[in-house]
Amino acid sequence: MAETIEYDWVESNLLEPPCTLLNFGCCGDKSVEKFTKKGYKIIGIDRLKDERKIENYFALVKDILKHDIGNEYKCIYSISAVEHVGLPKYNDGILDEDGDIKAFRKLYSALESGGILLMTFPYGSQDIIPEKLPKPVDWRIYDKERLDRMIKGLDAEVTFFPSISEYIRSGWMKFHRCEPPREFFESIVQKKPINSGMDEIFSVACIKVKKP
């Protein structure tokens, strides 16, 4: 469910080019074309093969929960991908409830000292455990508790963007044929970042973590 908000936020927080970026969940990610044109080299990681041929882009087929991803990146980003990790559709039919947190920690470990990790995902008033919805879904929504677990002990800045819920709702209905959780009914079109009161409405959380 990547939105332009997320692409714009990542772009405005990248280190200056020339620089090699690691993009986790790169398959079909539109930022790749844009960022390589700006002078970045991108190494992508995804468990699916990205067939695109783009100059200065090289995509590795790796499952982040199973494979080594190295540890010498200055800048890593991931747009709307971590919320899928460990859910059965992306994990050979098996639920790894903390797959997302393991993936986040692995990406953090892959940073060199002074490096930054930029990550975006859906955020709302409750942790949506996909298996408990009427029809199992293939992505999570984070709440404060899960977000806190994710970034515990790290030097992290979090920015929230209220999301465009009607867009999300129609996408959800089309895909899952059931009503989405109640957060999606909020009709919010504000695109400005806000930093408090986000526990009541659906939004996108953008996390910037710096490794000492």
Ligand X SMILES: C[S@@+](CC[C@H](N)C(=O)[O-])C[C@H]1O[C@@H](n2cnc3c(N)ncnc32)[C@H](O)[C@@H]1O
Find the shortest distance in angstroms from Cβ 23 to ligand X.
Answer: 7
Q: Which stretch binds ligand X (CB under 6 A): 24-32, 35-43, 51-59, 174-182?
A: 24-32
- Report how far residue 135's alpha carbon sits from residue 180's, in angstroms, rounded to the nearest whole number: 10
SS3 category, 142: strand
Cβ 14 vs Cβ 21: under 8 Å? yes
Amino acid at 127: D
- The pairs formed by 167-175 with CB atoms below 8 angstroms and a separation of 24 or more are 167/3, 168/1, 168/202, 171/1
Indicate the residue among 77 and 184 with the shorter CB distance to ligand X: 77
Extract the tokens encoding 201. Answer: 């409405």
- Report how far residue 101's alpha carbon sits from residue 139's, in angstroms, rounded to the nearest whole number: 13
Extract the tokens encoding 72. Answer: 């010498």
β-sheet bridge partners, residue 160: 194, 205
- Using rule CB under 6 A, residue 60 touches ligand X: no
Residue of 15, 19, 60, 65 that binds ligand X (CB under 6 A): 65
Find the shortest distance in angstroms from Cβ 24 to ligand X.
Answer: 7
Residue of 10, 40, 73, 84 that binds ligand X (CB under 6 A): 84
Q: Which stretch binds ligand X (CB under 6 A): 61-69, 105-113, 126-134, 165-173?
A: 61-69
Find the shortest distance in angstroms from Cβ 4 to ligand X.
Answer: 10
- Report how far residue 192's alpha carbon sits from residue 25's, in angstroms, rounded to the nearest whole number: 26
Rounded to a whole number of angstroms, the distance between the first and last alpha carbons of the chain is 31
Residue of 47, 140, 146, 211 that binds ligand X (CB under 6 A): 47
- Report how far residue 47's alpha carbon sits from residue 27's, in angstroms, rounded to the nearest whole number: 9
Residue of 5, 10, 64, 205 that binds ligand X (CB under 6 A): 64
- Using rule CB under 6 A, residue 141 touches ligand X: no
Q: List binders of ligand X among 26-45 (CB under 6 A).
A: 27-29
- Using rule CB under 6 A, residue 201 touches ligand X: no
For 47-129, strand residue ranges (E) read 57-61, 73-79, 111-123
- Using rule CB under 6 A, residue 133 touches ligand X: no
Q: Which stretch binds ligand X (CB under 6 A): 63-71, 161-169, 180-188, 204-212?
A: 63-71
Indicate the residue among 53 and 197 with the shorter CB distance to ligand X: 53
Please give the residue ranges that form the binding site for ligand X (CB under 6 A). Answer: 2, 25, 27-29, 46-48, 63-65, 79-81, 84-85, 90
